[in-house]
């Protein structure tokens, strides 16, 4: 039968598109079924009907994983656009009614997880009809999610290069050399040269971490090679390592505010530090931003202003 431009309009359903997108994002029929609270046979049937409407396979299975075909990639772009526009239309209707609802999905770098949940908690108390789903990962994880258009917006350490995104400065995220108060270096009152850290056990972040990339860049500029004793995955592991006095490290100050204010962790005055990094809000260009997402972004910006003041006081005191 000759192809007609309205063929999919007449034969494909929104539910089929929703299931198709879920499989593409999860890379698995079973995970998509779990996410959508459907049985796996139902998910398989929905995709089979959509594939028949398209007239071409949408997925190919290699081992236990499923991958999009070339036709599947074309359909995914269209399906995501359609579902995003419908979600935005629903949000705009709710906005006219004076109602904020729906689901906001965001992904944040691990350093931001120490202030974002508090903002989300206050936001949900004000807007109980909104659901918020937050994922935490390192920079590489977030870049992959941006490319897949998984979330409504992102908080990351610097705007991604090579991707078409809209970004806005959110807050300062300075990196400083820190140690436990019982560490001998914490007793030093004068400015510390990097060479003085050569013998100190150094706690390094995992590969793929934006902090590790920045630290290695500063060390290369000064021709310094740290005495790496442990490689720790994530800010929480670094925090625990510091509290056990396992070594010195370069850390995001916002992740250690409580420990620094209590005096348990000390900011060292080290050559080349602090390094002023930032957090940015970002989303793909042309992304349909819902009312609930806009409201949460506004709360993030207000909270970030207060965090900047708090970090400024810490740096002034440590200096």
Residues 49 and 31 reside in one and the same domain: yes
Is residue 208 in a domain? yes
For residue 1, name the pLDDT band (cuts at 50, 70, 90): very low
**pLDDT of amino acid 292:** 86
241 sits in which H/E element: helix 235-243
265 sits in which H/E element: strand 265-267
50 sits in which H/E element: helix 40-54
Residues 227 and 180 reside in one and the same domain: yes
Q: What CATH number is given to the structural domain containing 59?
A: 1.10.10.10
Is residue 90 in a domain? no
**pLDDT of amino acid 65:** 82
Residues 289 and 262 reside in one and the same domain: no
Is residue 95 in a domain? no
Q: pTM of the full predicted structure? A: 0.64
Task: Please state the separation of Cα 295 from the chain's center in Å.
Answer: 18
Residues 110 and 234 reside in one and the same domain: no
Residues 168 and 230 reside in one and the same domain: no
Residues 235 and 282 reside in one and the same domain: no
- Lowest mean pLDDT of 56-60, 198-202, 205-209, name the range: 205-209
Is residue 86 in a domain? no
Average pLDDT score over residue span 217-223:
90
**pLDDT of amino acid 5:** 65
Is residue 286 in a domain? yes
Residues 156 and 186 reside in one and the same domain: no
82 sits in which H/E element: helix 70-97
- State which of 247, 267, 287 marks the end of a domain: 267
Residues 261 and 189 reside in one and the same domain: yes
Residues 64 and 181 reside in one and the same domain: no
For residue 51, name the pLDDT band (cuts at 50, 70, 90): very high
**156: its two tokens:** 């990351």
% pLDDT > 90, the chain: 52
Residues 293 and 153 reside in one and the same domain: yes
Report the domain count for the chain.
3
**pLDDT of amino acid 163:** 87
Q: Residue 206's domain spans which residues?
A: 175-267
Distance CA 282, CA 289 (A): 11
Q: What CATH number is given to the structural domain containing 157?
A: 3.40.190.10
């Amino acid at each position: 039968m000759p192809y007609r431009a309205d063929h999919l309009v007449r034969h494909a359903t929104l539910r089929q598109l929703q299931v198709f997108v879920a499989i593409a994002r999860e890379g698995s029929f079973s995970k998509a079924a779990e996410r959508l609270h459907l049985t796996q046979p139902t998910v398989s049937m929905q995709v089979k009907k959509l594939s028949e409407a398209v007239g071409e396979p949408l997925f190919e299975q290699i081992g236990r994983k499923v991958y999009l075909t070339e036709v599947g990639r074309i359909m995914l772009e269209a399906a995501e656009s359609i579902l995003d526009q419908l979600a935005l239309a629903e949000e705009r209707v709710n906005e006219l009614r004076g109602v904020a609802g729906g689901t906001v999905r965001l992904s944040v770098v691990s350093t931001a997880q120490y202030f974002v949940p508090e903002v989300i908690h206050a936001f949900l108390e004000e807007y109980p009809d909104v659901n918020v789903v937050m994922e935490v990962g390192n920079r590489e994880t977030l870049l992959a999610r941006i490319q897949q258009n998984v979330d409504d917006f992102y908080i990351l350490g610097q705007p991604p290069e090579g991707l078409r995104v809209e970004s806005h400065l959110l807050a300062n995220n300075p990196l400083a050399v820190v140690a436990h108060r019982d560490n001998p270096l914490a007793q030093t009152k004068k400015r510390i040269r990097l060479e003085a850290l050569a013998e100190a056990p150094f706690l390094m972040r995992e590969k793929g971490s934006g902090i590790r990339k920045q630290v290695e860049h500063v060390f290369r500029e000064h021709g310094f090679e740290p005495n790496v004793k442990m490689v720790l995955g994530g800010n929480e592991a670094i925090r625990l390592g510091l509290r056990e006095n396992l070594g010195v490290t370069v850390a995001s100050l916002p992740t250690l505010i409580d420990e620094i204010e209590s005096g348990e962790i000390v900011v060292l005055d080290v050559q080349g530090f602090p390094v002023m990094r930032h957090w940015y809000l970002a989303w793909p260009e042309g992304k349909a931003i819902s009312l609930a997402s806009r409201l949460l972004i506004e709360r993030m910006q207000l909270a970030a202003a207060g965090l900047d003041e708090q970090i400024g006081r810490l740096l002034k005191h440590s200096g």
